[in-house]
Amino acid sequence: MSYKIIADSCCDLPEEMKKNPHIQLVPLTLYIEDKEIVDDETFDQKEFIRLVKESPTCPKSACPSPGSYMESYKGDEERVYVVTLSKELSGSYNSAVVGKDMYIEEYGEDKHIEVVNSQSACVGETQVVIKIMELEEKGLPFEEIKKEIKDFTDHLTTLFVLETLDMLKKNGRLTGVAALIATTFNIKPLMSATHGTIVKLDQARGIQRGLKKMIDYTVKHANHPENRILGITHCNCEERALAVRDAILAKANFKDCIVVDAAGVSSLYAADGGVVVTF
C-alpha cells in the first residue's frame, strides 16, 4: 500500500469506504456545555440532536491537534494525502499543516505529504477522497495529483438547506430578530460554501420549496454531470435525502451518487433535518 488518505471526521463516509485500508479518519471533538463528545465510531447522532435541542448555548467543535495529525502520517506509505474541512470554517487545515511540519522535523522528508483544503465539508470531503483514490489508481505522479486535486476542489459545489435556524442563531450568524422572522414565516435559506465561505444564494417559504430551489440549482449548474458524482449528506432525514436524489437524477445524468447520514461534525453544521448536496 503506497499511499493513504487521512481525513478529519467531518468527512462523511459510506460504510464500504470506512473499511478501505487506504482511508483513515482523525476525529474532531464536540462540546455541548460541559459534555465532551468524540466524533468517532462511538458517536450517537440521536443523542447528540437531543442534547443540542435542550441546550441554550451553541455546541462547539475542536479540531484534531497537530500531534494527532502527525501520528496519523506515520507508516510505510510513500504518499500521504490529508483532506480537511474548509479552512474558512475550521482550524483543522492549519492543524494538519503544523502536524506535517512536526513530522518533517522529527523524521525528515521520507515521504510526500499533501494537506488539502477541501473548501467544503461533509460529503464534499468524501468527494475529494474519492477523487484522490481515482487518480492514485491511475498511477499518476504525486505532483500531477496535487494539481488535479486543487482544480477539483476549486470547482466543487456545496449546497445546503436547513430545517432549523437554531444553530445559526446560537452561533451568532443570524440575529435573534432575523431568526424570529424566518421561523415565523417558515423561511428556509439555500446556502452555499463558495470557496469554503458560507453565503446565502436564495430562500423559500417551507422546507420543500427550499429543497426544490437546491434541486433546480444543482441541475442548472452541474456542467457535464456524466463526469461527476452527486454527493448528499443528510442529518437524520434519509427519506428527504433520497427524494432530493431522485429529483436531481431524473434531470441530470450523474455518473454516480452517494447518500450518507451525517456523522458528528456534519450533524452540528447541518442540524436535525438538514440536507447537504455536493457535485
pLDDT in tens, 9-49: 999 999 999 999 999 999 999 999 999 999 999 999 999 99
Q: Which residues pair with 113 in a beta bridge?
A: 80
pTM of the predicted structure, to 2 decimals: 0.92
pLDDT at residue 262 above 60?
Answer: yes
Lowest mean pLDDT among 62-71, 254-263, 265-274: 265-274
Q: For residues 60 and 276, is the Cβ–Cβ distance under 8 A?
A: no
Neighbour count for residue 19 (Cβ, 10 Å) = 9
pLDDT at residue 182 above 90?
Answer: no
Domains of the chain: 3-28+63-154 (3.40.50.10440), 158-278 (3.30.1180.10)
Q: What's the mean pLDDT when you consider all of the chain? A: 92
Residue 177: the pLDDT is 44
pLDDT tens figures, 161-177? 988 766 656 655 555 54
Mean pLDDT of the region 54-64 = 90
Residue 184: the pLDDT is 58
Q: For residues 124 and 158, is the Cβ–Cβ distance under 8 A?
A: yes
pLDDT tens figures, 228-241? 999 999 999 999 99
Identify residue 219 by its one-letter amino acid code.
Answer: V
